[in-house]
Amino acid sequence: MIRPMMRVNTAVALTIALASLAACDQLPGKPALRVAPPTLDTAAGFAGFYSENCAGCHGADGTQGPARPMRDAVYLAAVPDDAMFNMLRNGIEGTRMPGFGGNRITAVDDAALTAFVKGMRTAWGNASATAPTNIAWAHQPGKADAEHGRELFDARCVSCHPRTQPVGSSATVSGSVTDPFYLRLVSDQHLRTSIVFGRNDLNSAPANMPSAAGPFQDGNGQRVDGALSSSDVDDLVAYLSGLRSSPLYAPPTSAAQSKDETK
């Protein structure tokens, strides 16, 4: 059992020890210990911001989240800096992708966002990575042949993405991408990005989402080789986009965003 007097003595000794430590710290000439936090344009600084703001949707480590992987050098090399900056600053209208800059209450300033994009490229990018197909990233609304898109879908996609999920079957590897309600949640750009770059982070799945370079599967699940062309991608997006039951669902996501909207 510890007697009260001893406890007081211990406390006094500790106080003296701490006080002398603090005093030592102020000896003249001792360099101050100041470690600057890593800046956002470095791999380390970028990682903190990413895990706080993006990881929940784009995956811890930039892979295997519900939203597309960011740790994809081919993808990062294909998206121009200004487009990346705009998506991060303003979000993507009508989707769950939030904006982090602009007039939002919690806005990150433009310089910090620019630095963040640099940090992400430093960590996960590779400027010389080129898509096997060289198909441009940006979706351009315009003339496309949705009927041809439907034919392509039947010839290359439907066995992985059945239009309706067969009840009680475990044969399917992926969800329906023709469901009108799914299509209300994702933009045409998201459809294009998914088709052009695939999902290189799902290697453990029974079958990966291929990039536009393929290989694909025919209606019976047999391998089909041959890359999609840029206009094939346009046609597939036009087909899927035409199946939306109504325009993109645009939820008021936060008070911060409504502040922006009332401007």
Judged by the rule CB under 6 A, the positions of this chain that interact with ligand HEC are 53-54, 56-58, 67-68, 70, 79, 84, 87-88, 92, 95-98, 100, 153, 156-157, 160-161, 173-175, 177, 186-187, 189-191, 193-195, 199, 202, 205, 207, 209-210, 216-217, 236
**Nearer of residues 200 and 259 to ligand HEC, judged by Cβ:** 200
- Residues ≥6 apart with Cβ < 8 Å to 119: 39, 40, 41, 42, 43, 45, 46, 47, 49
Torsion of CA 183, 180, 166, 63, to 10 degrees: 10
**Nearer of residues 7 and 183 to ligand HEC, judged by Cβ:** 183
Give dist(CA 153, CA 147) in Å, integer.
10
> How near is the Cβ of 231 to ligand HEC at its closest, in Å?
13
**Nearer of residues 25 and 93 to ligand HEC, judged by Cβ:** 93
**Nearer of residues 20 and 229 to ligand HEC, judged by Cβ:** 229
> How near is the Cβ of 151 to ligand HEC at its closest, in Å?
11
> How near is the Cβ of 169 to ligand HEC at its closest, in Å?
15
Q: Do residues 39 and 46 make contact, with C-beta atoms less than 8 angstroms apart? A: no
* 10 token code pair: 């211990």
- Residues ≥6 apart with Cβ < 8 Å to 179: none
> How near is the Cβ of 14 to ligand HEC at its closest, in Å?
45
Q: Do residues 226 and 70 make contact, with C-beta atoms less than 8 angstroms apart? A: no
> How near is the Cβ of 187 to ligand HEC at its closest, in Å?
3
Helix (H), strand (E) at residue 223: strand 223-224
> How near is the Cβ of 143 to ligand HEC at its closest, in Å?
19
What is residue 209's three-state secondary structure?
Answer: strand
> How near is the Cβ of 61 to ligand HEC at its closest, in Å?
13
**Nearer of residues 9 and 226 to ligand HEC, judged by Cβ:** 226
**Nearer of residues 227 and 259 to ligand HEC, judged by Cβ:** 227
**Nearer of residues 56 and 180 to ligand HEC, judged by Cβ:** 56
226 Rama class: left (phi>0) / alpha (psi -120 to 50) / beta: left
Q: What angle do CA 162, 165, 167 make, to 5 degrees?
A: 140
End-to-end CA distance of the chain: 69
